[in-house]
Amino acid sequence: MSVARKWVFPILRIVVFAAIAIALVKIAFFADPVESSSGETPTGAIVEPQIPVMTGTVRNDIVLDGIVAADAPVAIKATLNGEIRQVSVAQGQWVDAGAELMQIRGMNDDGSNRWSIVKAPASGVLSSFDALVGQSVSVGSVVGQVAPPSFSVTASMPPEQQYRLTTQPTEGQVSIAGGPAPFTCTGLTISSPLPGSESGGDGGDGGAGSTSGTTVRCAVPGDVRVFSGLTATLTIAGGTAENVLVVPTTAVEGGSGTGIVYVVLADGSTEPRDVTLGLSDGITVEVTGGLDEGETVLQFVPGAPADPGMMEGGVQIGYGG
């Protein structure tokens, strides 16, 4: 046992340390050569989304957020320079259109008396009327106002939405949350203030429904019970096109009448092409000329930001009717 401790174990330790040292030297100075690459290269490429031209239905409904407001009061104006000699009504009273309100006495050039009867310009309640017997008035001066019992629905329309209307609508559908059943409002008008004009005029500011910019207004039927300040949804039907060629609006440069799409050719390249456009619902647009069914176009105009609502993970969500 003493021989093993004195000679065998020390020799074994020396052999082990020598093997470790040789291995370290080999790793440091004689490492195995690295195998050459297989030569594979990345083949991925960014491909712009493409979509086929197909048939579909375009329902051109414009939906606007609006408000119910009492119609603007109508001004009562003096019709003669002179003195009020008789007053037939009082503030707060109901009057019918054409009813006598007061009489004014003026003077002719020859000194003789001249009389004028001021009549109610509309039916409604005299919301203001401060005419007094003996009061001097001048022609055109406002002596009161008649508040009609009628209401209108008023909404603001973005100017570009007017491109979607191929004809002038005359009515709309109104829905009021918590109110009566949806109803048709008539006499629909779309107007924008002229440069330098002021809203309201002599007849007041149009109530709580006054808006700036392009304004849509239509009359609430008299048999529908509403109140000023109610919020409403106004839907204007601009027409429906069925079984027509359609593409996403994102594929078209331009949005009304004419536009340009980028057609994908057989070799993968693209070419711009002029197209004629029809109805649009804001997401899909009808193409009436310039494309054939089955042709492929870029889903987004080159250089334009992609609409996240139309894409999900690079896959087109869907369009058309």
The pLDDT value recorded for residue 319 is 53
pLDDT (tens digit per residue) in 80-124: 999 999 999 999 999 999 999 999 999 888 888 899 999 999 999
The pLDDT value recorded for residue 312 is 41
The pLDDT value recorded for residue 315 is 37
- Tokens 């919020």 locate to 231
The pLDDT value recorded for residue 29 is 62
d(CA 274, CA 52): 17
**Global pTM exceeds 0.75:** no
CA distances from 198 to 205, 210, 211 (A): 10, 12, 12
Whether residue 127 is predicted with pLDDT greater than 60 in this model: the reply is: yes
The pLDDT value recorded for residue 317 is 39
The pLDDT value recorded for residue 85 is 94
CATH class of 74-147: mainly beta
In a 13 Å sphere around the CA of 238, the CA atoms on its Cβ side amount to 18
Strand order in the sheet with 142-147: 74-77, 142-147, 124-129, 94-95
- Domain 50-59+239-316, CATH 2.40.420.20 — does that match? yes
The pLDDT value recorded for residue 104 is 94
Q: Can you tell me whether residue 3 is helix, strand or coil?
A: helix
Q: Name the percent of the chain lying above pLDDT 70.
A: 76
The pLDDT value recorded for residue 314 is 37
Q: Can you tell me whether residue 160 is helix, strand or coil?
A: helix
- Tokens 């649009």 locate to 280
pLDDT (tens digit per residue) in 196-219: 665 444 444 444 444 457 899 999
The pLDDT value recorded for residue 31 is 57
The pLDDT value recorded for residue 283 is 85
- Contact in structure between 216 and 190 (CB atoms under 8 Å): yes
Whether residue 245 is predicted with pLDDT greater than 50 in this model: the reply is: yes
In a 13 Å sphere around the CA of 48, the CA atoms on its Cβ side amount to 19
Whether residue 34 is predicted with pLDDT greater than 80 in this model: the reply is: no
pLDDT (tens digit per residue) in 260-315: 999 989 888 888 988 888 888 878 888 888 888 888 888 888 876 655 544 443 33
Helix, strand and coil in the chain, % to nearest 5? 15, 45, 45
Instruction: Work out the pLDDT band at 170, boundaries 50, 70, 90.
Output: confident
Instruction: Output the DSSP codes for 61-85.
Output: EEEEEEEEEEPPPEEEE--SSEEEE
CATH class of 63-71+149-238: mainly beta
The pLDDT value recorded for residue 47 is 67
Q: What is the largest CA-CA distance in the chain?
A: 161
What are the domain boundaries of the chain?
1-31, 50-59+239-316, 63-71+149-238, 74-147
The pLDDT value recorded for residue 8 is 60
Whether residue 140 is predicted with pLDDT greater than 60 in this model: the reply is: yes
- Contact in structure between 303 and 287 (CB atoms under 8 Å): no
- Pick the closest to residue 251 from 269, 275, 267 (CA basis): 275
Q: What is the CA 246 to chain-centroid distance, rounded?
A: 21
